[in-house]
Amino acid sequence: MKNITIIDYGAGNVKSVKFALERLGAKVKLSSNPEEIKNADKVIFPGVGRAKFAMERLRESGLTELIPNLKQPLLGICLGMQLLCEHSEEDNVDGIGIFPLKVKRFKNDLKVPKIGWNNISDLKGDLFDAINENEYCYFVHSYYVEDSKYSSASSNYGLKYSAALQKDNFYATQFHPEKSGKTGELMLKNFIEL
């Protein structure tokens, strides 16, 4: 079994992700140690909370330099996905820059945070093998990543936005696969098997 390291930098929902992976039989380690992360077979980059605080923690740990240079599959989740982008309107902070995209706040007439189940469509890539169009996933967010050529899934909340991204070995989801029932479980299984 390949080993998966979840980046534990004080801004992630690491326990629920860890338990979801272990239920699928994965060997999982939590770490903020750059050497351990670099040597993992796969890496998961979760996140909850504010962008500025999370980026400060990543910089302090030396992870803003490490993450862009990883060669193994990496999965960013929720804030983890947003931090993989170039810039966020939240706290007006620069991200890691894997995806040359902007993170924007939902418009004022939309209730935020957007919490709950929403369907995903326009599915592309290995992460969504055997997952049907318009399956429902669980979202919690006030900010979104614009729809682009890097989108591997889309969703809609007042506008079409990226529910998932992919570029080279970097994968990301705005929704929480660990809280998205059978669909999320299958997506995590697909990531394990990449």
**What are the tens digits of pLDDT across the range 17-47?**
999 999 999 999 999 999 999 999 999 999 8
Residues 132-157: pLDDT tens digits? Answer: 999 999 999 999 999 999 999 999 99
Fold of 3-192: Rossmann fold (3.40.50)
Domain boundaries, the chain: 3-192
Q: Active-site residues: which are they?
A: 78, 176, 178
Total-model pTM:
0.96
Q: In terms of Cα–Cα distance, which of 191, 172, 8, 5 is closest to 95?
A: 172
CB-count burial class (<10 Å; 0-12, 13-18, 19+) for 164: buried
